Chains A and B, each alone.
Chain A
């Protein structure tokens, strides 16, 4: 997975944000609920305290404390309900104290007395040794007989805590669910939003210099992506224009140069063969004629390139044996290699049938062999291999010459490119041979590549589809 892709980063953000918000709102909810429940509990204790005060303590002098205790036991049953009830006089004497609850979770006797203050309503919490918390509300009450009482009513916080623990548990289980849901939702959303980007990328990937007339798909959604593809299309159109112009220029130029070159060559040829002229003049004319011939060769090659660029007609395509053709070509060029004491080892025993223009593909072999012979020193070796590999015909020309520097390797198929400016003086040719080979290969849907290691030699490999039948 590409961790730097927009969709991945968006999803991480989405998951992080949603879980952050979830945790934060969970905490907030927890505390406010805790606060509310505690207050609510305290409130109900207060109400109970006031009830006790109003109904029982108001007439304390007439009823007596045992009656009050009886009534409290009857109505509130503190032991059964886990309640704590204590009534004390101002002087600290206890009028009534509830007994320990049935489960002995706290001992009422241990609950410290509330300090007397000016306020009428008090509250405290008490932690029992058994880790139980009591919430206690206190109420100062002035009875009719002038007696001053403190009524304390408390209860266990247990149910609230249980509820809150439940809540925490639910939140903890809820978090991954929320993250999964938001991430999945986010993923679907992001994928939908980025689908056009994927389409644009794939379409843009397909567009090369040979199909610049193609355009990217434009989905009419009115969004940023539509704008992006429209402006990319405009850019491709401008590139297309520039490319067409430069192609047309090469085609036109190589065409227009022909007539002046014909005249130049004709006149010079005349001078060279004119026996009335001085020998030195003829010698100079001959030198000029040689250059004119070289110039016309370059023009010829440029014209060939521009025709291949323009997609030369496939009228001359046929099925033929590439291995036999390569072997034959190597033989025809044998003396050229022999002249430099270079041996050409040919490994092309099995027929390898391909489809294409035999003359053009032969030109590829000629150019590759010529190149190898040029750049291999005396007594060198060239290997020519043709074989069928995985449904493809693979032709290799390998030499043990000086090799091509790594920085030059990507440019060897460029027009007019020379690997080594110093060496170029010894070797004739304009640096178009490999460009032509590549143009022919791409017209045949073939790949051509060069590999080389310095001082060990170079290898040029052509890979083209085998003939179907």
Chain B
């Protein structure tokens, strides 16, 4: 899988490239619009990550050109702007998703994977992590064969974490998926719900599935922690 990163801030490009390489993607980096267009016209990329504020050629212009050349390539837009007008304009120009700076790399990675339709997009009706079983149709949860009663919010939180086992979810991502934008800035709500979920799912069992990654967020995994 080959990914094009277009970002004029070298350090930001660096972090994204490093992180994606660690996930075994092939990565090319361009720091301005013209360089990006050269790369984009020479190679067929599986995904492009674009910053909109670029020297040489505006991000929106580049986006339109790439889209004209390749209808299929998914494009993720990075932006420091998050006004509604910008969002609408980008989607009209053909962006598939967008991420507002500052973002957590974990979040970028989840979105990249979702766009590449690879890996953790688990569509089966039953999710299994270790001895934990989540039935998406009946919305029921069992651990070691025993039924666990969860509230609606607790269930959606658990199900969301279970869709990408082992992946760290930031509080921002959890709020956006389980609650909505309006709860942004209210990150302690996630902590409280995870604590309650943990009491029901983990407390009675020797193997703890819900993990806290200090500062970053939470993950659900049955792998032994390093």
Contact = CB atoms under 8 A, between A and B. Distances in A.
Contact of A273 (B82, B188, B189, B213): B213
A155 B24 CA distance: 138
Nearest to B11: A263
A262 B188 contact: no
Contacts of A272: 213-216
Given A259-B80, A289-B215, A370-B186, A335 B196 contact: yes
Contacts of A261: 101-102
Contacts of A300: 184-185
B33 to A, nearest CB: 17
Given A297-B185, A332-B153, A339-B192, A270 B105 contact: yes
Q: Which residue, of A264, A316, A333, has the highest number of chain B Cβ atoms within 10 A? A: A333
A255 B186 contact: no
A362 B215 contact: no
Contacts of B182: 329, 359-360, 362-363, 365-366
A290 B214 contact: yes
Interface in B152-190: 153, 168, 179-189
A362 B183 CA distance: 8
Given A273-B213, A366-B186, A266 B15 contact: yes
Interface in A328-361: 329, 332-333, 335-336, 339, 359-360
B226 interface: yes
A275 B226 contact: yes
B117 to A, nearest CB: 25
A370 B179 CA distance: 14
B156 to A, nearest CB: 11
- Counting from the closest, the 7 A-B pairs by CB-CB distance are A266-B15, A286-B214, A289-B215, A362-B182, A286-B215, A262-B102, A261-B102
Interface of A: 255, 258-259, 261-270, 272-273, 275, 282-283, 285-290, 292-293, 296-297, 299-301, 303, 307, 312-313, 315-316, 329, 332-333, 335-336, 339, 359-360, 362-363, 365-366, 370, 428-429, 433
Interface of B: 9, 11-12, 15-16, 18-19, 80-85, 88, 101-106, 151, 153, 168, 179-189, 192-193, 195-196, 213-216, 226
